[in-house]
Amino acid sequence: MEDSRYNQFVFYKPARDCYDMTFWGQNATRIYECMGAGDSQDMIKFSFDCWAPAINIEYSYHIVSPNKNLFGCVGLKNKEYCILNKQYTKEEYEEMLPKIKHHMNEMPYVDKKGIVYKYGEFFPSEISLFAYNESLAQSYFPLTQEEIVEKGFKWKDKEESKHAITIKAKDLPDDIADVDDSILNAVIECEVSKRAFKLTPAEYQFYKTMKIPLPRLYPDERHKNRLAKQNPMKLWHRTCMCNQENHINHTGKTCKEEFETSYAPDRPEIIYCEKCYQQEVI
């Protein structure tokens, strides 16, 4: 990224002049306060789920085909100068927009917790389509039900599974060679969560081809295990642990360089500063 800050999950380049963006930034420029923006977009603000070439979009959702100059729109295709999905002329649009923004500042939305949303803020979390605990937020920043409610987010109770289990995970064959198509009708009980899950035909075929044993865990449990292998979304202030004597950036065995790292202090890895890392690894 170039000249950008406070972005997350940006994995395509180039992305330039972006601020407060989550996901994913391909050819994105001047994206601000957005969740899901990229694919040759410019000047997208306070919007989410925008993934087609678009210019100058504000407070909009699901922009999946080329659009320009939209305000408060949902799911439009090849449109320009629309407000709340209604078509205006360029002149009308340009005349109305400053008035709307002024009005948003004069009479802002105030949520149940008293948080004020003037023009320039992302959508209030209380109108989110999703509860906190069913979103990625809960995977990376887990909160209890009380904390979620306290912060004004939505909580969703787990739905009771109505599926009749036909086989427990421990009774699945160990070797994929001993499994046949009938497994596609099986309702498997997860070893850990006890939730029911099935296999899809493509998934089954993949395990067969790659000679991989059947999963024993409900997909959410597998996801949780994968996330546990990543470093947490947290930074610790640490000092370089280098003990090499031949580095040009420090004398003797101690480098005093300090930095932020996602490796917690109690982890076993040796953490180098950038300069020492480059001398040791590159």
Rounded Cα gap, residues 70 and 88, in angstroms = 10
Tell me if residue 189 falls in helix, strand or coil: strand
Smallest distance from Zn ion to CB 49, Å: 42
Stretch that binds Zn ion, among 29-37, 39-47, 96-104, 267-275 (CB under 5 A): 267-275
CB of 250 to Zn ion, least distance (A): 6
Are the beta carbons of 212 and 176 closer than 8 angstroms? yes
In the complex, the smallest distance separating the C-beta of residue 266 from Zn ion, rounded to whole angstroms, is 20
CB closer to Zn ion, 220 vs 257: 257
Nearer to Zn ion, 3 or 280 (CB): 280
142-158 exposure pattern, b = at least 16 Cβ within 10 A, e = fewer: ebeeeebeeeebbbeee
Phi/psi at 71 (nearest 5 deg)? -135, 120
Which of the stretches 25-33, 103-111, 163-171, 257-265 binds Zn ion when contact is defined by CB under 5 A?
257-265
Q: Is 271 in the site for Zn ion (CB under 5 A)?
A: no
Measuring CA to CA, which residue among 82, 48, 83 is closest to residue 64? 48
Question: Among residues 22 and 249, whose Cβ is nearest to Zn ion?
Answer: 249
Which residue pairs from 194-201 have beta carbons closer than 8 angstroms and sit at least 24 positions apart in sequence?
195/161, 195/220, 196/161, 196/163, 196/164, 196/165
Residue 50 or 273 having the CB closest to Zn ion? 273
The CB-of-252 to Zn ion minimum distance in angstroms stands at 10
Does residue 276 interact with Zn ion by CB under 5 A? Answer: yes
**Which of 273, 278, 281, 282 is the binder for Zn ion (CB under 5 A)?**
273
Please tell me whether residue 255 binds Zn ion under the rule CB under 5 A.
yes
Does 257 sit near Zn ion (CB under 5 A)? yes
Per DSSP, 204 falls in state: H
Query: In the complex, what is the shortest distance from the CB of residue 138 to Zn ion, in angstroms, rounded to a whole number?
Result: 36
Specify which residues 55 forms β-bridges with: 42, 68
Give Cα 8 distance to the centre of its chain. 7
Q: Whole-angstrom Cα distance, residue 62 to residue 64?
A: 6
**Total binding residues for Zn ion by CB under 5 A?**
8
Query: Strands 28-37 and 15-16: what pairing?
Result: parallel
Provide, rounded to whole angstroms, the least separation between the CB of residue 3 and Zn ion.
27
Please, which of residues 209-248 interact with Zn ion by CB under 5 A?
240, 242, 244, 247
Q: CB of 263: closest distance to Zn ion in angstroms?
A: 14
**Alpha carbon distance 6, 18 (integer Å):** 8
Name the one range near Zn ion by CB under 5 A: 39-47, 81-89, 118-126, 272-280. 272-280
Distance CA 277, CA 47 (A): 39
Q: Which is nearer to Zn ion, 190 or 242 (CB)?
A: 242
Q: Which residues bind Zn ion (CB under 5 A)?
A: 240, 242, 244, 247, 255, 257, 273, 276
